[in-house]
Amino acid sequence: MRLRFILSETAKGMSRNLAMTVSVILVAFVSLLFVGASGLLQAQIAAMKGEWYDEVEVSVYMCPQASAYPTCAEGEATQEQIDAVESTITGALDSFVESYQIESKEQAYANFMKSFGNTAVGRNATEDMMPVSFRIKLVDPENYAVVAEQFSGHAGVERVVDQGSTLEPLFTVMNRASWITGGLAVIMGVAAVLLIFTTIRLSAMSRSRETGIMRLVGASNLFIQLPFILEGVIAALIGALLAVGALWAGVHYVVEDWLAGSLSFTSAFIDTGAVLSLAPWLILAAIVLAAASSAFSLSKYTKV
């Protein structure tokens, strides 16, 4: 009997303040959509880093003939200098290096011609112009600075190139996009809390006569407040479910169907499983924020 009364009062309050209820649903939907998008973007960044960083190599280029780099002022790297670099890789850097390989002039020339053989640059290139290089795969790609420091100013070394540095601008942009969506989520979350606070307060004020009668017959605080709290919780819960549905559709149709099928250079894409893992937290956040803001709003207007 009590449960039926509480539910009927909740439905009555939501119907009386239909416009405000819809507003709470929409604001909760938008704020949780931003929260979810920020979380999924971070998961996507982690997935791409996990795949791409595993393939990242550090390249140490030895001085070729007629190099324009100041470090090669003494001319082409000698065999002794090449051996010294290899000794450093297998010695001082052994704990940082997973594997390495040496690319000879012949191999460098063959690879160069595959890419540029039909161009004017390719037609003018010769094998003697190519540098000997070391391709080093690190145990942890983040330790690039350690490798670069070891070869900084090393005799016969033209330059050290970290492939991971070319990826950093992409990850920086994605991280900033994640921060922006997170910031918008906070703003919309505050708006949702304020809107729930106002909606429940107006609902309580409009039914002050009914709550007064309930106080006279000895109803407890919880019994009086529960219908109002449920109004905010149900509205926020609907918004959370809509946000989860929108995120699921976005990942399924945009990421899985479109991006994964269009981009062949990577397979590191999140799937709808990431949305399902995030969904309980979005729903819990909606319930907790709505219940807390509703209870705070009611503490003044329905206190026994």
Q: Give pLDDT, residue 304.
A: 43
**Mean pLDDT, residues 237-251 taken together:** 92
Cβ neighbors of 181 (< 8 A, separation 6 or more) are: 34, 37, 38, 41
Same domain as 177, residue 288: yes
Instruction: Please count the other Cβ atoms lying within 10 Å of the Cβ belonging to residue 138.
Output: 22
Q: Write down the H helix ranges in the chain.
A: 2-16, 18-55, 79-90, 105-116, 120-124, 144-151, 164-206, 208-216, 221-249, 260-262, 272-301
Considering the domain architecture, whether residues 62 and 24 belong to the same structural domain is answered as no
Burial of 233 (0-12, 13-18, 19+ CB in 10 A): buried
Same domain, 27 and 130: no
Same domain, 117 and 154: yes
Q: How far apart are CA 144 and CA 58, in angstroms?
A: 7
Q: Among 162, 192, 214, which residue terminates a domain?
A: 162
Residue 181, Cβ neighbours under 10 Å: how many? 20
Count of CB atoms situated within 10 Å of the CB of 271: 13
172 shares its domain with 292 = yes
Q: Dump pLDDT digits (tens) for 37-77.
A: 888 888 887 777 766 666 677 889 999 888 888 888 888 88
**Residue 197 sits in the same domain as residue 258:** yes
Same domain, 203 and 243: yes
Q: How many domains does the chain have?
A: 2
Domain at 131, CATH number: 3.30.70.3040
Query: Does residue 190 carry a pLDDT above 70?
Result: yes
Name which residue leads in pLDDT, 241 or 225.
241
Same structural domain for residues 188 and 278? yes
The band of 245, judged by pLDDT with boundaries at 50, 70 and 90, is very high
Q: What percent of the chain has pLDDT over 70?
A: 77
122 shares a domain with 8? no
Last residue within a domain, chosen from 146, 162, 178: 162
Same domain, 181 and 292: yes
Q: How far apart are CA 155 and CA 164, in angstroms?
A: 24
Residue ending a domain, among 143, 162, 181, is: 162
Examine the domain organization and report whether 61 and 30 are in the same domain.
no
Global model pTM greater than 0.75: no
- Tell me what pLDDT residue 193 has: 77
**Structural domain boundaries enclosing 253:** 2-53+168-301
**Is 290 in the same domain as 203?**
yes
Q: pLDDT tens-digit profile of 15-39?
A: 666 777 787 788 888 888 888 888 8
